[in-house]
Amino acid sequence: MKIITLTPNQVDATSFYRAWGVFPDIMRRSDITFTDYYDAQMMLGEGKRGFTWANALQYDAAFFQRAFGNVIEIAKFMKDCGLKIIYELDDNLWEIPNSFDIKRFYDKDKLSTMVYMLKISDLVIVSTQALADYISTAFDVKCEVVNNAIDLNKYPIQPYNEDGALIWRGSSTHRSDLRQYREVMEGIQEPLQVWGYDAVNNEPRLKLNNFTFVKPLDPIYYFANLRAEKPRGIVTPLVEDVFNACKSNIAYLEATMAGAVCYSNQWGEFKNKGLNLSEVNNKHHKEAHEAATIDVKENYSLKQANDKRIDLFKSL
């Protein structure tokens, strides 16, 4: 089975968890292959007419992750050529809070494009049941849920390290979360590492007693550094809104993999995952990490997630 793919960015964290980070395992364990649409165009070389029906007919399906720009034109062309359309979505982009800078990017045209893709697709895959339920109710489109997952062969789960650091990791989109849970964040008694977005020197300007800032990293180096750090906890406060209710619990997966416990307000996909934020100043959580280890191995392994992907792709 040959699938041609369009993703907004081959090398960002979204692709790591939902596209080019998972495709190699599928290709190793099945006869499914993936080719990037733009790489395919480049391979045609100079003097060619671009991607034509003759090229499209070499594939069985087209995989679109989020996808904007002229994606409607491309998707319609692929479908007219007889390819099955797969649409992959990992966030509830219709419910981005007004305080997020990225909300300006997801304007009416882009949201309409996403609805069109939902309607035209033969298979829609999302990251959480809450997102599937939202799309079903709002747009009358059935979705298949494939959780984000960790490659446990490449990243075996490390033992709990109660003497490790505390980490908050995230982007500027988490400013509202940090602002609402300022008291919790500023009440952390030990040094806190802030990874990705400097929420001390930038809004909401948290007043932490002792903090270290770690700049954003490529996902491969991020995973390597996280495992090398061997933290005892990752702190993940979330505003209880529709957007966060549909969010995947990758902070819980990453914490568990690195030998840490995830501290959250138990909202959405984080419910019954790790420990409550109120436990953040207590170091003795070996049993919580052991329970999380069992959960991740049973429910969030890449092999398990990709077995489902393979079945879904083959069903087309």
The mean pLDDT of 162-189, rounded to a whole number, is 95
Whether pLDDT at 47 is above 60: no
b/e per residue 77-104 (b: at least 16 CB within 10 A): bbbebebbbbbbbbbbbbbbbeebeeee
- Are residues 134 and 6 both part of a single domain? yes
What are the pLDDT digits (tens) for 237-288?
A: 999 999 999 999 999 999 999 999 999 999 999 999 999 999 999 999 999 9
Give the pLDDT band (50/70/90) at residue 39: confident
Do 37 and 87 have their domain in common? yes
Q: Is 226 within the bounds of a domain?
A: yes
Asked, for residue 156, whether it belongs to a domain, the answer is no
Domain count, the chain: 2
- What pLDDT does 87 receive? 97
pLDDT of 61 over the 70 cut? yes
Per-residue pLDDT at 105 exceeds 90: no
- Identify whether residues 207 and 239 lie together within a single domain: yes
- Residues 103-122: what's their mean pLDDT? 92
In a domain, 247, yes or no: yes
Range of the domain at 21: 2-149+302-314
Express as a percent the part of the chain with pLDDT over 90: 86
- Is 108 a residue whose pLDDT tops 70? yes
Cα distance between residue 132 and residue 81, in whole Å: 28
pLDDT for residue 214: 97
* CA pair distance 276, 181, nearest whole angstrom: 13
Task: Please indicate whether residue 17 or residue 70 has the higher confidence score (pLDDT).
Answer: 17
Q: Is the pLDDT of residue 124 over 90?
A: yes
Domain identity same for 103 and 137:
yes
* 131 and 258 share one domain: no
Q: Are residues 241 and 178 in the same domain?
A: yes
Q: Is 117 within a domain?
A: yes
**For the ranges 10-19, 79-88, 101-110, 304-313, which has the lowest average pLDDT?**
101-110
Determine the pLDDT at residue 43: 67
Query: Is 157 within the bounds of a domain?
Result: no
Mean pLDDT of the region 104-130: 94
Residue predicted with more confidence, 209 or 31: 31
Prediction pTM value: 0.94
Q: What is the pLDDT of residue 45?
A: 61
161 in any annotated domain? no
pLDDT tier, 11 (very low <50, low <70, confident <90, very high otherwise): confident
Query: Are 175 and 250 in the same domain?
Result: yes
Does residue 49 surpass a pLDDT of 60?
no
Please check whether residues 280 and 307 belong to one and the same domain.
no
Same-domain check for residues 104 and 185: no
9 and 84 share one domain: yes
Residue 158, domain member (yes or no): no
How confident is the model at residue 8, as a pLDDT?
85
Tell me, yes or no, whether 154 lies in a domain: no
Same domain, 85 and 179: no
Chain-wide mean pLDDT for the chain?
A: 94
Query: In this structure, are 227 and 290 located in the same domain?
Result: yes
Of residues 263 and 107, more confidence is placed in 263
Portion of the chain with pLDDT greater than 70, in percent: 97
**Which of the four pLDDT bands, split at 50, 70 and 90, describes residue 46?**
low
* CATH code for the domain in which residue 118 is found: 3.40.50.2000
pLDDT interval class at 48 (50, 70, 90): low
